[in-house]
Structure 1
């Protein structure tokens, strides 16, 4: 896995959150279910994100951005919000039943906030070329401000 294609990006103001992204087969996730399209393993201000290589590379720009931003949302939930999940309870259910848990609801809401602000431009998250874009502040991703 460590030799899998990927990149590292530092996000936010100091202390930055360092996110290393690897494109792997889901069988290589280890700590996450291989049924998922992505997996985030945050430890303090460092986070490993593993994405299903085929799902990511074959997705549309919007799908790729949502997937990557969702996993980055998990990283920021840990490093910036200290796992408070932006006070989400089950509000993420507006996205799907899977997103009804606070942790998944926050991550999906973060992905939609990112898409609303930056569009399908994943360059600020380290993927591809595109204009700069200031990432949404995870403190501003709240249940009363859901975007779809």
Structure 2
């Protein structure tokens, strides 16, 4: 119980301390509902989410998505860069949806033992665990996240946040 309270406090302080600058975007947006969270999806202008960041293993990672959320909120906004390749779009969208669910269900943890330094960050590990669980359950289809997608999903619904383990 104490761990859950401390995790919720850490999540609230971390998210409340964020300074968000909305990138330029076009009018392409739609909303879907995922496990009680209303997610507004928006396409940004290509490259508007920022410069590529070091991935910690000698390469660079393009910033493909960004979620604006508040702790405990039942809605969020996800900005996506339309230049993300289709093979990565599902993972990026599921990861950002993971941030929305993370805030609503107060899920937070880091994994300092993982070789990927990105997952050492307190607010990234659970969202990435959600994305990986989504890919295992639903495949490359975005339909379970409320998108129109010609690819048929392998699942009836996306994974529930309470079913995501705190380690992979």
TM-score by length of 1: 0.76
Q: Are 2:70 and 1:49 aligned?
A: no
SS in 2 for 1:114: helix
Deviation of 1:34 after TM superposition, in Å, equals 5.1
Deviation of 1:6 after TM superposition, in Å, equals 2.7
Structure 1 segment 48-87 matched on structure 2, within 5 A = 48-55=77-84, 58-60=85-87, 63-79=88-104, 81-82=105-106, 84-85=107-108
Q: Distance in 2 between matches of 1:5 and 1:72?
A: 18
Q: Deviations over 1:116-138 (max 9, x none)?
A: 10011111113313346221111
Deviation of 1:91 after TM superposition, in Å, equals 5.4
The number of aligned residues is 130
Deviation of 1:76 after TM superposition, in Å, equals 0.1
SS in 2 for 1:103: coil
- Is the helix fraction higher in 1 or 2? 1
Check 1:139–1:34 CA distance in 2 against 1; reply closer, same or farther (3 A cut).
farther
8 Å Cα contact 2:29/2:42 also seen in 1? yes
Q: Are 2:136 and 1:116 aligned?
A: yes
TM-score by length of 2: 0.68
8 Å Cα contact 1:26/1:34 also seen in 2? no
- RMSD (CA atoms): 2.2
